[in-house]
Amino acid sequence: MTLEFSLGSGAADREDTACAVVGVYEEGLSPAAAVIDAASGGVIARLGASRDFSGKIGSTLVLHGLAGVAAPRVVLVGLGARGKFDARAYERACGAAGKALKRLPVGSACAWLPELDVPGCDADWRVRACALAIDHACFRYTATLKPSDPEVPRLAKLVLVAGSEVARGLEEARAIARGVAFARELGCLPPNLCTPSHVAAQAKTIADGHAESVTLEVLERADMERLGMGALLAVASGSATPPKLIVLEYRGGAADAKPFALVGKGVTFDTGGMNLKPTGSMEEMKYDMCGAAGVLGAFLSAVEMKLPLNLVCVVPSVENMPDGGGYRPSDVLHTHAGITVEVLNTDAEGRLILCDALSYTCKRFQPQALVDAATLTGACVIALGAHASGLFSADDGLAGALLAAGEASGDRAWRLPLWNEYREQLESAFADIANVGGKSAGAVTAALFLSRFTEGTPWAHLDVAGTAWIPGRKGYATGRPVPLLAEWLIRRSAA
């Protein structure tokens, strides 16, 4: 579920809305806040003077029943210092507004935040970023919970006032919000329900919803055997639930235009296999399919925007379990690409399912660019934490475009090296390559492993292990890297 967005143009004191949302700088009021202040006889200015509301970035205050103001509630949103108000601060303020709105018993609200000046950002960007930040904050997981009290209204509609012409921004916000919600709902779903078959069924809902432009093919175990996908099959071998290789194709571009390709890691639960993860490391491994959820969400966004390009989305989905029939450390696997792999650790399973999916995608579709997303390494979480996804690419143009798309969408990535010097860490005495590279530079050696299976194709890898979900009991899937990928595709289709 996403919020329903629309554009408004009313005055902040007169708009007929259950809740008006306006910004306040540390130094003074935004234009919309000044309108409400004037209509209400100076209430907001007095709250500033008394230090009840200082305008600190990320702070909010809900006011009720202001005389002279049509809306029964006003949410003040702190914007921080005027001189430091940039795109990141704007997104943060919009997110804080969303958190305040989530707690209120209102079905609709109207935000004047997109009217604010944000250096380097136009009205389309401001509308989109505000809509997405508030929508993100208002996300609710529902799949396995009792229905909430229908008597209490929940925010469902959001009106955005931008003060100037906006067309694209709203459409993009709708499509990206759907992609993000898709990824978050699938990511959050428990692993007894979110099996590879369920992931394939979700891909089918995308295809069925856009039958005019999207086709779906699901390869089964027998197909994978025929294609020689020994690595993907090995990871699946310990699980009672069958593996799926999901292939979605969208045709929005010229019939002869090479497609873009997205590939995502879809491990629906990662126990580590024979190299079983210890307590404390396994609990959140239902999120190990967030790369898959992210590329499916980005695919959905692109399709909903009807982007004029061709796009394929390939998802290998398996469960990594220990079992008498499971694969072991020291097994040598024969991949679809013909490269042999020595398994040194069955917990390095993501690269094993991806290598077969990547070489298959390169061979079958010859994409003009391929990006994969995967919750691939704990090492990437250590390196970059939750603020940036790890980006790896030998193609400087592609890397630059992805970094810029991440910056513009507030879904940032940071580049790490793919230098050949690290390659010797993957050497094996028993196969062409080993599946782990030792303790140091774990995110780099994982990416280097993948690079062997995309040679000749412009390729980038996003390690989203630190960004795809918020850890902890009350954490959720974040929907990343949907905004980054959707923005990259928007830009590629405009180019």
Catalytic machinery residues: 277, 351
What is the three-class DSSP state of 462?
A: strand
Q: 362 CB contacts (<8 Å, ≥6 apart)?
A: 370, 453, 454, 456, 457
Total chain residues near ligand BES (CB under 6 A): 16
> Distance from first CA to last CA of the chain, Å, rounded?
31
Q: Which does 219 bind (CB under 5 to 8 A by kind): Zn ion, ligand BES, Mn ion, none?
A: none
DSSP codes, 400-456: HHHHHHHHHHT--EEE----GGGGGGG--SSSSEES---STTHHHHHHHHHHTTSTT
Q: How far is the CB of 281 from ligand BES (least distance, A)?
A: 7
- Under the binding rule (CB under 6 A), the answer on residue 377 touching ligand BES is yes
268 and 289 Cβ atoms separated by less than 8 Å: yes
Looking at beta carbons only, is 270 or 356 nearer to Mn ion?
270
- Under the binding rule (CB under 6 A), the answer on residue 378 touching ligand BES is yes
The C-alpha atoms of residue 135 and residue 182 are separated, in whole angstroms, by 13
- Under the binding rule (CB under 5 A), the answer on residue 124 touching Mn ion is no
- Under the binding rule (CB under 5 A), the answer on residue 319 touching Mn ion is no
Identity at 45, one-letter amino acid code: A
Q: 437 CB contacts (<8 Å, ≥6 apart)?
A: 422, 425, 426, 444, 445, 446, 448, 449
State which of residues 13, 37, 342, 349 lies at the interface with ligand BES (CB under 6 A). Answer: 349
- Under the binding rule (CB under 6 A), the answer on residue 270 touching ligand BES is yes
- Under the binding rule (CB under 6 A), the answer on residue 185 touching ligand BES is no
- Under the binding rule (CB under 5 A), the answer on residue 270 touching Zn ion is yes
State which of residues 241, 271, 317, 375 lies at the interface with ligand BES (CB under 6 A). Answer: 375
- Under the binding rule (CB under 5 A), the answer on residue 347 touching Mn ion is yes
Looking at beta carbons only, is 269 or 488 nearer to Zn ion?
269
Subset of residues 433 to 452 that bind ligand BES, contact rule: CB under 6 A = 436, 442
Looking at beta carbons only, is 390 or 406 nearer to ligand BES?
390
State which of residues 249, 288, 304, 342 lies at the interface with Zn ion (CB under 5 A). Answer: 288
Q: Which does 185 bind (CB under 5 to 8 A by kind): ligand BES, Zn ion, Mn ion, none?
A: none
Q: How far is CA 31 from CA 28, 74, 163, 412, in A?
A: 10, 14, 11, 30
State which of residues 37, 270, 304, 356 lies at the interface with Mn ion (CB under 5 A). Answer: 270
User: Cα-Cα-Cα-Cα dihedral of 353, 355, 356, 357, to 10°?
Assistant: 80
DSSP codes, 223-279: HHHHTT-HHHHHHHTT-SSPPEEEEEEEE-S-TTSPPEEEEE-EEEEE--TTSPPPT
- Under the binding rule (CB under 6 A), the answer on residue 345 touching ligand BES is yes
Subset of residues 164 to 193 that bind Mn ion, contact rule: CB under 5 A = none
- Looking at residue 477, the DSSP 8-state letter turns out to be B
The C-alpha atoms of residue 239 and residue 219 are separated, in whole angstroms, by 17
Q: Which does 169 bind (CB under 5 to 8 A by kind): Mn ion, Zn ion, ligand BES, none?
A: none
Binding site for Zn ion (CB under 5 A): 267, 270, 288, 350
Binding site for ligand BES (CB under 6 A): 270, 288, 345, 347-350, 375-379, 381, 436, 442, 465
Residues binding Mn ion (CB under 5 A)? 270, 347, 349
